[in-house]
A and B are shown apart, each in its own frame.
Chain A
Amino acid sequence: MSDAPNLDLIARQLRLRLIQMSHAAGTPHLGSALSCVDILVAAYWNVLKIDAAKPADVCRDRFILSKGHAASALYAVLAERGFFPKAWLDNFGKHRAPLAEQPAPNCAPGVELATGSLGHGLPVGVGMAMAARIQKRDYRVFVCMSDGECNEGTVWEAAMFAPGQRLEKLCVIVDYNKWQATGRSNEVMALASLRDKWAAFGWNAHDVDGHDIATLTRLMKNVPDGSGKPVAIIANTIKGKGVSFMQDDNNWHYRIPKTEEVEAARKELGLA
């Protein structure tokens, strides 16, 4: 175990980074970014076949963060994995800096898609997975979306289409934090049961703890799982995960942390 990275520590460090970025740039959606950190850590440390030195390699695994409002989490992860200098994070959201609140096309190495409008990542990911088969390339496509995003019709168009095409190298991870912008996601629409819905659409669907990096790793690593079906991971998460006064409080969809809140969060995360 001595050489293995301490992913729990890395996840906590990333969370503090996101809080600092939100504070410095005055950007919202912090709760949404915090909820998907463990999914990103599992993917980028344990699963994806990618090389920061060759970010455009045609055979790389693709990871699309379809919930573009959580882009700060993707940026922090990509910087930590060496896709671009960590100093870029300091200018997050600043005028003419490469990293905007939500990603633009080709804004930084490793960012696969400009997202921000919900419901776009999965159809595009389906196209990438079909392209792999047509071009006989052996890569997988992972799409991380939010539970609120599952309100969008295009999600379900793609959800029906992908199993029809037997896209077994496609994996969706739903960051199911139980909140959307202005309400409980199970009250705004009849979202539950997400696992049953994805299974009914023809996916191998799993209901898991979305903060359990080992379980997320095992399921994502197992794509394709041999069944011929795409894989859906319903990752049960907590919005604002990691900081007691942000957890499951939807005010942090829009709130910006103050200086003292950043410091309180640092202590709670056990970081010096």
Chain B
Amino acid sequence: MRNAFAKQITELAQADERVVLLSGDIGNRLFDDLKDKCPDRFFNCGVAEANMIGVAAGMALSGLRPVCYTITPFITYRCMEQIRIDVCYHHQPVIIVGTGSGLSYASLGATHHSCEEMGMLRLLPGLAVIAPADAIEVRGALKAALKSPHPVFIRIGKKGEPVIHKTEPNFEIGKAIPVRDGKDVCLLSAGNMLPAALETADLLAAQNISAKVVSFHTIKPLDEATLADAFKNFKLVVTMEEHSILGGLGGSVAEWLSAFAPAKARLIRCGTADEFLHETCEQEEAREHFGLTAAAMAARIRAVLA
């Protein structure tokens, strides 16, 4: 996803001279092409994320379209107030891109995990929160964010994630993308969980359970039409995310569901627990810890349907 971001931002900067990239001292060599093609619109802002967000707001207030980029926990938790006041209160179209989201950097420890930031950010008025599923969606999300007059947060993973989409879907903020059809359960996947969601659907199919799979890439604003369809027409709706079950996609859907009637389906939220992950592990092992593997999620779904 990182490389897709670098390629797309370079294309966008070439096409639109308002686009400026601010990096928080990461992406060594990642942006060489951009620096080469648009040398006056790339800035390494150092290890000073709060300042970087304020700088971006000042640029947006002056008519530019800044894109801020660094590791997710640092570009969110650390500068929450700058995002809230400088960007959202002034409703400036700043694009904030966090890399290594969720459990992508599991091995670096909980300082580098981001399993709470969507819950925090979606509380900010006017800010869209997007979790693209793969490199194709990263490109779509970035293009859509640049067309939007609103501030946007995009959480991306690392590099080398499977590319799911064969062709580029029409990416609209707030409009989920159906990936596979089914009739019994509806799997709503946020971000990099999409491959695991598809694998879960495969495991369920082997047990004669038909699962629809949706890339539910926008956590705010919610795609209410897709949710209404899911809760009316399926036995079970399952949210999947590398994020706490509090506040992220699952939390958002639960809030939405509390005011939706009549719902046929019940909701299962697959995500991280309300804890810091203390064990030394890689991303896949971290997913095992939180029951986020396809096997664990399929077993949980089967148990509920039994």
Chain A interface residues (CB < 8 Å from chain B): 58, 105, 112-114, 117, 120, 122-135, 153-154, 157-158, 160-161, 164-165
Cα distance, A125 to B81, chains bound together (Å):
17
- Are the CB atoms of B58 and A154 closer together than 8 Å? no
**From A58, A113, A126, A132, contact of B55 by CB (8 A):** A126
Q: How far is the CA of A120 from the CA of B82 in the complex (A)?
A: 7
**Residues of B participating in the A interface, judged by any CB pair closer than 8 Å:** 20, 40-41, 43, 45-46, 48, 50-64, 66, 81-82, 85-86, 89-91
- Are B64 and A134 in touch, CB under 8 angstroms? yes
A131-B20 Cα distance, complex, nearest whole Å = 10
Task: With CB as the reference atom, state the residue of chain A lying closest to B90.
Answer: A105
Contact of A128 among B20, B52, B61, B89 (CB under 8 A): B61
Residue of A117, A130, A135, A161 with most partner-chain B CB within 10 A: A130
| Chain B residues in 8 Å Cβ range of A160 | 46, 48
A131: which of B64, B81, B91 is its contact (CB, 8 Å)? Answer: B64
Known interface pairs A130-B55, A161-B46; A154-B62 also in contact (CB < 8 Å): no
B83 to chain A, nearest CB (A): 11
Tell me which residues across on chain B come within 8 A of A112, comparing CB atoms. 61
* Interface of chain A: mostly helix, strand, loop or mixed: helix
For A126, give its contact among B41, B54, B66 (CB under 8 Å): B54
Chain B residues with Cβ under 8 A from A131's Cβ? 58-59, 62-64
Are B41's CB and A134's CB within 8 A? yes
Write 24 A-B pairs (CB below 8 A) sorted by A numbering.
Answer: A58-B63, A117-B81, A117-B85, A120-B86, A123-B50, A123-B51, A124-B54, A124-B55, A124-B57, A124-B61, A126-B51, A127-B56, A127-B57, A127-B62, A128-B59, A129-B58, A131-B63, A133-B40, A134-B59, A134-B64, A154-B50, A158-B54, A161-B55, A164-B46
B51 touches A135 (CB 8 A): no
Tell me, in angstroms, the Cα distance from A49 to B63 when the chains sit together.
Answer: 19
Q: Give chain A nearest CB distance to B95 CB in angstroms.
A: 14
- Shortest beta-carbon contacts, A-B, top 3: A127-B58, A123-B54, A131-B62
Question: Quick check: B59 and A130 within 8 Å, CB to CB?
Answer: yes
* Bound-complex Cα distance A123 to B57 (A): 9
Which residues from chain A contact B91 at a C-beta distance below 8 Å? 105
Is A154 a contact partner of B61 (Cβ separation < 8 A)?
A: no
Q: Which of A124, A135, A161 contacts B86 (CB 8 A)?
A: A124
Q: A124 near B58 (CB under 8 angstroms)?
A: yes
User: How far apart sit A27 and B48, CA to CA, in the bound complex (Å)?
Assistant: 35
Chain B: minimal CB distance from A155 (Å): 9
Say how far A57's CB is from chain B's closest CB, in angstroms: 12
Question: In chain B, what residue has the closest Cβ to A139?
Answer: B62
Q: Would you call B85 and A128 a contact (CB within 8 A)?
A: no
